[in-house]
Structure 1
Amino acid sequence: MYIIAGLGNPTMQYEGTRHNAGFDVIDALADKYNISVDGRKNRAYIGKGIIEGQKVLLVKPQTYMNLSGESIGGLVDYFKIDEEQDLIVIYDDISLSPGQIRIRKKGSAGGHNGIKNIIAHLGTQVFPRIKVGVGEKPKKYDLADYVLSHFTKAERKEMEEGYQKAIQAVEKILAGEMEAAMNEFNRKVKPKEA
Structure 2
Amino acid sequence: MRLLLALGNPGAKYRDTRHNIGWWLADRLALRWGGGPFRADADGLTAWTTAAARPGVEIHKPRTYMNLSGEALAALRDRRRFDPAADMLVLVDDVALPAGRFRLRARGSPGGHNGLASISASLGSDDYGRLRLGVGRPPDERIDLAAWVLSRMPRAEEERSLGAFPRAAEAVEYWLEHGVEAAMNRFNR
Q: Do both proteins adopt the same fold according to a TM-score greater than 0.5, normalized to the shorter chain?
A: yes
Q: Give the TM-score normalised by structure 1.
A: 0.91
How far, CA to CA, are the matches of 1:166 and 1:19 in structure 2?
17
Q: Give the TM-score normalised by structure 2.
A: 0.93
Which string of whole-angstrom CA distances, capped at 9 and with x for unpartnered residues, describes residues 61-110 of structure 1? 01010001111122123111111100110100000010101101111110
Alignment RMSD: 1.4
Alignment of 1:103-182 (within 5 A): 103-138=104-139, 139-182=141-184
Could you say which residue in structure 1 is the equivalent of 2:87? 86
How far, CA to CA, are the matches of 2:37 and 2:168 in structure 1?
18
How far, CA to CA, are the matches of 1:179 and 1:3 in structure 2?
17
Q: Is the partner of 2:56 in helix, strand or coil? A: strand
Kept after mapping to 1: 8 A contact 2:105/2:180: no
Paired-residue identity, %: 39
5+ residue gaps in structure 2?
none
Are the structure 2 counterparts of residues 46 and 90 from structure 1 closer, same or farther at C-alpha, using a change threshold of 3 Å?
same
Kept after mapping to 2: 8 A contact 1:63/1:71: yes
After the TM superposition, list the runs of 4 or more consecutive aligned residues in structure 1 that deviate by more than 4 angstroms: none
Residue 75 in structure 1 maps to residue 76 in structure 2: yes
C-alpha displacement at 1:146, in angstroms?
A: 0.2
5+ residue gaps in structure 1?
188-194
Q: Is the partner of 2:93 in helix, strand or coil? A: strand
Report the AA paired with residue 26 of structure 1.
Answer: A
Residue 32 in structure 1 maps to residue 32 in structure 2: yes
Report the AA paired with residue 18 of structure 1.
Answer: R
